Amino acid sequence: MMVPAVLLLLGALTSLLAPRLLARAEWPEREPVVALWVWQCVVAAVLLCFALSMLLSAAAAWLAVRGPLFASAPRGVVDAYALGSGSGPWAAGTALVLAGGGLWTGAMLAAEVLRARSRRRAERAELLVRAPLLPGEEPDGGRLVVLEGRRPDAWWLPGTAPQLVVTTGALGRLKGQQLDAVLAHEQGHAAARHDWLLHCSRALSGVFGQVPVFAAFEAEMHRLVELAADDVASRRYGRLTVALALVGLNEDRGVFGPCPTPHAHVPARVRRLLSAAPRLSPVRRLRLTAVAALVPAVPVLVAFVPGLSTLT
């Protein structure tokens, strides 16, 4: 019965230490796409720790689970896990708590997706009211919709027919290729499916908000997806163009003043674009990607070690 406990301990240590290590690193600012991958691997490793611990705890508590799980395994493999010795109510309680957490996470993710779809439908309905279709115009005829509005604003409306919505105030503020840079930024979000990363991070944070790795995961996803989309746009139109577009869209919102605002991350994004820190070398990017991919393999290896040791 030691393996489920070791997996729980490994998951707890990872959830505590990984956010601190990543917060101290300086490279995520320079490589947000790699940082997104690293965060996903860390969260996957923690979830695997809990899922494997739940599975082995359930196998220790109930023969109905143990039988199918080890049906094709040799007798020595089952004995190596010592699932039937002294497990008692601890194994059943652990399995039930972890299973409840998994079910609640799934429910929260489903609710988050449904809320996002409901918001999207409401936004499209409001868009049709503010910008009605002209006679003979197709609903998905254009990817750019211009709304009358004095406040500079632009946002991406995803869906089967995604559209970039821009106010006339933004058109008057954005010069040259700045509007194209805004479009490239939003297309970067859509191409990388950043909405799903945000849905998952919100669901995990909503269920396990007190667990450091999940709380940090949600905060970092909001920041890193914006940095990654900035990089997509800057590779096509230049860092200065993207920075000027950010300033043009946000200077009237008070984000560059001393008081905190909901868009307080914008000045940091502008400074990052203007500083033009060099990217990591391809070798280092590859090394970080490979090491991160190995992190979820650790709990799998821990779970299989007793069985593999008997086979050798």
Residue in 261, 249, 269, 235 with CA at minimum distance from that of residue 165: 249
Q: What is the largest CA-CA distance in the chain?
A: 76
CA atoms within 13 A on the CB side of 183: 18
How far is Cα 210 from Cα 19, in angstroms, rounded to an integer? 13
Q: What is the pLDDT of residue 1?
A: 59
Q: What is the pLDDT of residue 303?
A: 86
- With beta carbons less than 8 A apart as the criterion, state whether 115 and 198 touch: no
Q: What is the pLDDT of residue 9?
A: 92
Q: What is the pLDDT of residue 294?
A: 95
How far is Cα 81 from Cα 78, in angstroms, rounded to an integer? 6
Q: At 164, give phi and psi (nearest 5°).
A: -95, 125
What tokens were used for 310?
């008997």
Three-class SS of residue 265? helix
Residue in 305, 306, 303, 308 with CA at minimum distance from that of residue 49: 303
Cβ contacts of 192 within 8 Å, gap of 6 or more: 225, 228, 229
Q: What is the pTM of this model?
A: 0.85
Q: pLDDT in tens for each of the 312 residues of the chain? A: 588 888 999 999 999 999 999 999 989 999 999 999 999 999 999 999 999 988 888 887 787 777 777 777 777 777 777 766 556 677 788 888 888 888 888 888 888 888 888 888 887 787 777 777 666 666 655 567 888 888 888 888 776 677 788 888 888 888 889 989 998 998 888 888 888 888 888 888 888 878 899 999 999 999 999 999 999 999 999 999 999 999 988 887 767 666 555 566 888 899 999 998 889 999 999 999 999 999 999 999 988 887 767 766
Cβ contacts of 162 within 8 Å, gap of 6 or more: 143, 156, 190
Alpha-helical regions (H) of the chain? 2-24, 27-30, 32-61, 63-69, 75-81, 88-130, 168-173, 178-191, 194-207, 212-237, 239-250, 265-275, 282-294, 297-311
What residue type is assigned to position 100 of the chain?
G
Residue in 159, 158, 186 with CA at minimum distance from that of residue 170: 186
